[in-house]
Structure formats: C-alpha cells, structure tokens
Amino acid sequence: MIEVSSMVLKLWEQKKLPLVGGLLLPDGRLYKNLANNIFCEYEMLQENSKDYSSWFSRISVLHSRSYQGYSVYCGDGSYGSDGFILVLNKDSTLHWLIMDDINPIEQLTVENGVIHALNNLQQKFTFPIMEPEKYQIPTPD
C-alpha cells in the first residue's frame, strides 16, 4: 500500500491533488460519489499500479482557514467541475481530502468543528472535521 498522506502532501507542494472522486482518508479508505450521495468504501492506490498521471489535477487555492490548529484549504482543479477541500492536521499531515466533481469551492467557514463550504454555483456543503464521512451536500430537486 502506498503511504497516502505523504503522496498527497508531495502533490500539494506541486500545486496538484489526486483526482479521487470522493473523500480520501490518510489510511487509504476512499468514499466515492459524494455528489450522488453514494457512500461506498474501499482501499485505493495499490503499489502495483504504475501510472498515476491521470489521477492528478492542477489546483488553485481559492480560500483557506485555520481552526484549532487544523489548516483547511479549498479551491478548484484543472477539469472545470473539480472542487476540493483539504484538511491538514496540526503537524501538517493529511487529515482528509475531498476532490470530486462538486464544482470549485470558493468560500468556507469553520464553526464548532464543522466546515461550511460554498461552491461557484452557490451550493452549500458541510463536513465535520473529525467525521467527514458524515457530510451533507445539496440534493438535486
């Protein structure tokens, strides 16, 4: 298994993030299809996978906040509908990453341990810092 946290941080330094299409935790668990409210969990990033080049997106940070030692960043990727939220622990290691087709996240606030994010379509998302898998996203009408 590839060490996910160090891989994400190395990409972050290059202004890139992996196109995970969901919520990525530092132990490699990936929760897919956030936009469709499908919650499936599985391991990712097997060591025998050779070509990761299509997994990366160049990113732009549009907003950031600090909260009780955590660093929270949001922005967009290079494919138009990509949006991300990256949370780093107090020691600058990966806490979690969301990179999905939720559109660019342009604003965020953090209150009582919950991230409130707004994308470029004015859709609101909430992600608890300590339990991001308990996210809330807009549902289609």
Task: Pick the more confident residue, 44 or 33.
Answer: 33
**Beta-carbon count within 10 A of 103 CB:** 17
What is the pLDDT averaged over residues 62-87?
95
Q: In this predicted structure, which of 7-11, 27-31, 95-99 has the lowest mean pLDDT?
A: 27-31
Q: Which domains occur in the chain, in start order?
A: 4-134 (2.40.10.480)
What confidence score (pLDDT) does residue 110 get?
A: 97
Buried b (16+ CB within 10 A) or exposed e, 51-89: eeeebbbebeebbeeebeebebbbbbbeeeebbbbbbbe
What is the pLDDT averaged over residues 16-36?
80
Query: CA Rg, the chain, in Å?
Result: 14
What is the pLDDT averaged over residues 74-99?
94
Q: Per-residue confidence at 140, pLDDT binned at 50, 70, 90? A: low
Q: Per-residue confidence at 47, pLDDT binned at 50, 70, 90? A: very low
Q: Distance between CA 15 and CA 108 in Å, rounded? A: 19
Q: Per-residue confidence at 50, pLDDT binned at 50, 70, 90? A: very low
